[in-house]
Amino acid sequence: MLPFTLEKATDTSGAIAAAAAGGRYIAGGTTLVDLMREEVEHPERLIDINALPLGGIRMEGGDLVIGALSRMSDVAADENVRRLHPLIAESLLEGASPQLRNMASMGGNLLQRVRCPYFRMLDAACNKRDPGSGCAAIDGLNAGHAILGTSDHCVATHPSDVAVALVALDATMSVRGPGGARSFPVEELFLLPGDTPQLEYRLVPGELIGEIRVPAGPYARNARYLKVRDRASYEFALVSAAAALDIADGVIRSARIACGGVGTLPWRMRECEAALVGATPGRPAFEQAAQPATRGARPLHHNRFKVELLPRTIVRALEMAGEVA
C-alpha cells in the first residue's frame, strides 16, 4: 500500500471541498482499502465521512428514505424495510457476509468498483484501470462477465446486489457537490462503458451521496430477489433477478424487473415488464415475458450459458414474487 493521508470530515461542506480538491471519500472502506492494498488504486488523500449526518432510515410520505452512510446490516434488519420493501432486505442479505454488511455503507455499495479479476491484476490489460491498454477479459476467462451493455473496451459486470433491487423499485438518490444539490433515479447513476470504461458513475468530482429514496408502490411488498452463483456461500452473481408484481383480481397490473450479473450496470428489463401487464400470473406468461431479456446480448466464449440462464432466472424470480402476492 502506498502512503496516503487520512482526514476526518466534521461537516458536509468541508468534506465536499476536500474531495473536489482531489481527496477520496471513505466510509466502510470494504472495497477501497482492498484496492489500495493491491495498489490498483492509490489515492493520496482520504476523507473519512463517517461523522457526517448522512445515516438513518425513515419513512417520509410513504417513501422509504435511506441515508447513504447507513450500514447494509442496519438497512436489512430495519422493520420498515423488511415489511414494506422485502426486495431490498433480501438483496442485502444475499450481497455480502455479516462482517461486510456491518461495515459497508449503502452509498459505498452503489459505488463499488467492478470485480473483474483483470482489473485487479496489475500485469493485465484493463481499460478501467489503465485507459487505452485493452481488455484482457474479452479473450480471457470471462464466465462471470457481462453479455449486455458491453463494448470493445470493457465487459465487466457491476457487482452490487442492492443496486439491482433499487433500480427495479424506481429508487432515486440525492447528491451534494460543489455545484449544489440534485436528485436523479438510481438507474441513472451508472454509465455504460462505451469508449470510456474508466468513467463508471454520473457524479462530478466532490459529489457526495446523501440519501436514497424508494417510492411506495403496490408491487413493493410482492417482490423477491433470486441470485444464481457458483457456490452457496457469499459470491458475486452469475445472474440475478429482482422481480416485483402488482396482482389484483388474478391479473398483473404492473411489474418491475431488473437483473444483475449480466450487464455492465444493473439492467432494467422494461420490455419484459410491459409484456406482463394484463397477463394472468403463471409460468406461461412469465416465460413469454422473459423472452426479450437477452435481446442485444453479446456473449463471450465462456459466458454463453448466461443467454439461457438469464430468462430462466427471471421466470423463477417472477414465480417467487407471485407466490408472495
Residue 191 within a domain: no
* Mean pLDDT (whole number) for 152-173: 98
* Mean pLDDT (whole number) for 278-303: 98
Give the per-residue pLDDT at 108: 97
Beta-strand pair 24-26/57-60: unpaired
CA torsion through residues 95, 97, 101, 107, sign: negative
What SS3 class is residue 45? strand
Phi-psi region of 286 (alpha: psi -120 to 50; beta: other; left: phi over 0): alpha
Tell me, what DSSP letter sits at residue 112?
Answer: P
Write the CA distances from 156 to 62, 136, 260, integer angstroms: 36, 11, 12
Distance CA 249, CA 64 (A): 27
- Residue identified by cell 388474478 is 250
Instruction: State the total domains in the chain.
Output: 2
Give the per-residue pLDDT at 103: 96
Reply yes or no on whether the pLDDT at 216 is more than 70: yes
Neighbouring residues of 48: CB distance < 8 A, sequence distance ≥ 6: 6, 7, 8, 9, 26, 27
Give the per-residue pLDDT at 140: 98
Domain containing 305 — which CATH number?
A: 3.30.390.50
Residue 118 within a domain: no
Beta-strand pair 180-185/172-177: antiparallel
* Mean pLDDT (whole number) for 24-35: 96
* Mean pLDDT (whole number) for 42-55: 97
Reply yes or no on whether the pLDDT at 131 is more than 70: yes
Give the per-residue pLDDT at 325: 60
Residue 147 grid coordinates: 453479455
pLDDT-derived band at 31 (thresholds 50, 70, 90) equals very high
Measured N-to-C along each axis, helices 283-290 and 305-324 cross at an angle, to the nearest 10 degrees, of 140
The answer to whether 62 and 84 are in contact (CB under 8 A) is: no
* Mean pLDDT (whole number) for 300-325: 95
The residue range of the domain holding 35 is: 5-51
Residue 69 within a domain: no
Residue 312 grid coordinates: 430462466
Domain containing 22 — which CATH number?
A: 3.30.43
What SS3 class is residue 12? helix
pTM to 2 decimal places: 0.96
Percent of the chain with pLDDT over 90: 96
Residue 86 within a domain: no
Neighbouring residues of 304: CB distance < 8 A, sequence distance ≥ 6: none
pLDDT in tens, 222-274: 999 999 999 877 789 999 999 999 999 999 999 999 999 999 999 999 999 99
Q: What are phi and psi of 13, to 5 degrees?
A: -60, -45
Give the per-residue pLDDT at 91: 97
- Residue identified by cell 417513501 is 63
Distance CA 54, CA 82 (A): 21
Residue 85 within a domain: no
pLDDT in tens, 112-121: 999 999 999 9
Give the per-residue pLDDT at 232: 79
Rg of the chain, C-alpha, whole Å: 19
Reply yes or no on whether the pLDDT at 90 is more than 70: yes
What SS3 class is residue 262? coil
Q: What are phi and psi of 310, to 5 degrees?
A: -60, -55
Nearest CA among 82, 75, 94 for reference residue 226: 94
The amino acid that residue 213 corresponds to is R
Give the per-residue pLDDT at 1: 80
Give the per-residue pLDDT at 270: 98
Nearest CA among 322, 84, 80 for reference residue 221: 84
Residue 106 within a domain: no
* Mean pLDDT (whole number) for 173-198: 98
Residue 45 within a domain: yes
Residue 152 grid coordinates: 470493445
Residue 34 within a domain: yes
Which H or E element spans position 299? Answer: none
The answer to whether 163 and 237 are in contact (CB under 8 A) is: no
Lowest mean pLDDT among 1-5, 22-26, 134-138: 1-5
Partners of 71 in beta bridges: 105
Give the per-residue pLDDT at 144: 97
